[in-house]
Structure 1
Amino acid sequence: MTNAPMIDLQDTTRKYDDGPPALAGVTLSVAAGECVAILGHSGSGKSTLLNLIAGLDKPSSGTVTVNGTRVDQLGEAGSAKYRRASIGMIFQFFNLLDDLTVLDNVMVPAQLAGMGKGEAKRRATELLGSLGIDRHAKAYPQRLSGGQRQRVAVARALMNRPALLLADEPTGALDSHSAEDVRRLLLDLNAEGQTILLVTHDVQLAASTARRTIELVDGAVARDIVNIGSNSSGSSAGLAARTPLTRPAGAVG
């Protein structure tokens, strides 16, 4: 049995042009079963970090390892296979296919992975039932509320039993009631052992959902905070002492 982290980035940098790097020498790890929030303003490097972990982009230097796989070394086909097998993704705007029913939307990842139609249908039906939206299985996404569509997106993300769930601003397009519903769902999934990386700019969502909050500023890790007292009621008693971090090369003070 290994104690290797689920996510392990070592001195990872991503540059796109001659300007400042989008990600600057980031070293961080996330243990299996953790729920960790990546917090930062627009342009802080959150999306770049997410894309590297998902295998949608490659670092300019450094390494990206997820669940024992060197993601930075995968080719195009290997990256696609990795995402199908190991990653579930939840997006701000759902990314559901409007011309497919709810059930068919949820089945898509399994069918792409080669699962038989019967088995995929059974798995999708089971997920929709566990998420309380099985009565909408034959409906089309545009007929559902935002919160219901996000539950469909969560079911789709969990279809192939991913080791890691990536949630990119999962409540950003929702009203407050639906956002709270999704937040509680993420808490429940994590309580069942699902590893979750939550990318957000919402400080309250990060503090009340994740066990740790990693703050990015200008592509570098500025703080790694242990959240104290976050629970299913949405309250948070506060933050633990901030963990000292190695500063990027050349940083002063």
Structure 2
Amino acid sequence: MATNAPVIDIREVTRTYGEGPPALTDVSLTVHTGEAVAVLGPSGSGKSTLLNLIAGLDRPSTGSVTVDGLRVDGLNESGSARYRRTRIGMVFQFFNLLDDLTVLDNVLLPAQLAGVSRAEARRRAAGLLEHLGIDRHAGTHPGRLSGGERQRVAVARALMNRPALLLADEPTGALDSASGEDVRKLLTGLNTEGQTLVLVTHDLRLAESCATRTVELVDGRIVRDTHRATAVAR
């Protein structure tokens, strides 16, 4: 499934804030097309900082971040927003859906912001809702759905612009066990279909069932990079 084309290429990144210790120190990471990488570590280990750097929501103090061939750390504010609309999809712990919009309108929003024609956006949205098993909820508002269903809507929204990379920040963290298992199966299926994933999670079951690779952070450094077949300790 993986190819030689890197989707993420992070080189010698350090991120400091004020006078405190670095949130990340000399982190290098390459993620190839088709991989599903789970980023693990205790609170304060640098997981969220790493995700924000990949998403273009933060910039490294030193080093470089390249995603889908684009130097993300060199983008201005409008370039970063365009990058997030067109190159990546993001899924959050608490869904971040707009409750005053229907499921369909939530899913359509990224394509509308990216300038996709209305007809094409509706075609994509209909296909995603059907593929993810939530087409019957197209006219429903998110507040009437279960947690697992809302996360499926969030995933559909994240996939609308056909991103090279799907980022997920604790995607099962706000779900009960049954809904969490539903989302684990969904993300595993997407990766099987070829979608590149990076998951920040405390959910070891998600990492074990979905990830083809786990990266462990401690005190802002990668201490272990484990593939399913091999483990590399640093």
Q: Report TM bin, short chain.
A: over 0.9
Answer with 1 or 2: which has the greater Rg.
Answer: 1
Q: What's the secondary structure of 1:121's corresponding residue?
A: helix
2-side partners of 1:223 and 1:3: how far apart? 22
2-side partners of 1:121 and 1:158: how far apart? 13
The list of structure 1 runs, each at least 4 consecutive aligned residues, that deviate by more than 6 angstroms after superposition, is: none
Deviation at 1:204, TM superposition (A): 2.6
Deviation at 1:226, TM superposition (A): 1.5
The corresponding residue for 1:5 is: 6
1-side partners of 2:156 and 2:204: how far apart? 25
1-side partners of 2:150 and 2:233: how far apart? 40
Q: What's the secondary structure of 1:6's corresponding residue?
A: strand
Q: What's the secondary structure of 1:7's corresponding residue?
A: strand
Deviation at 1:195, TM superposition (A): 0.3
Correspondence list, 1:31-42, <5 A: 31-42=32-43
Please give the TM-score of this superposition, normalised by the length of structure 1. 0.89
Deviation at 1:209, TM superposition (A): 1.1
Matched residue count: 232
**Residue pair 1:207, 1:227 contacting (<8 A) in 2 also:** no
Give the alignment's Cα RMSD to 1 decimal: 1.1
Correspondence list, 1:94-109, <5 A: 94-109=95-110
Amino acid in structure 1 at the alignment position of 2:109: V
Q: What's the secondary structure of 1:135's corresponding residue?
A: helix
The corresponding residue for 1:165 is: 166
Please give the TM-score of this superposition, normalised by the length of structure 2. 0.97
Amino acid in structure 1 at the alignment position of 2:13: T
The corresponding residue for 1:251 is: none
Amino acid in structure 2 at the alignment position of 1:65: T
Question: 5+ unaligned residues in a row in structure 2: which ranges?
Answer: none
Identity fraction in percent: 69
2-side partners of 1:175 and 1:227: how far apart? 27
Amino acid in structure 1 at the alignment position of 2:115: G
The Cα offsets for residues 61-88 of structure 1, whole Å up to 9 and x where unpaired, read as 0010111111011111111111111000
Instruction: Identify if the C-alpha distance between structure 1 residues 78 and 146 changes in structure 2 by more than 3 Å, giving closer, same or farther.
Output: same
The Cα offsets for residues 216-246 of structure 1, whole Å up to 9 and x where unpaired, read as 0011101111235xxxxxxxxxxx4x3033x
Question: 5+ unaligned residues in a row in structure 1: which ranges?
Answer: 229-239, 246-253
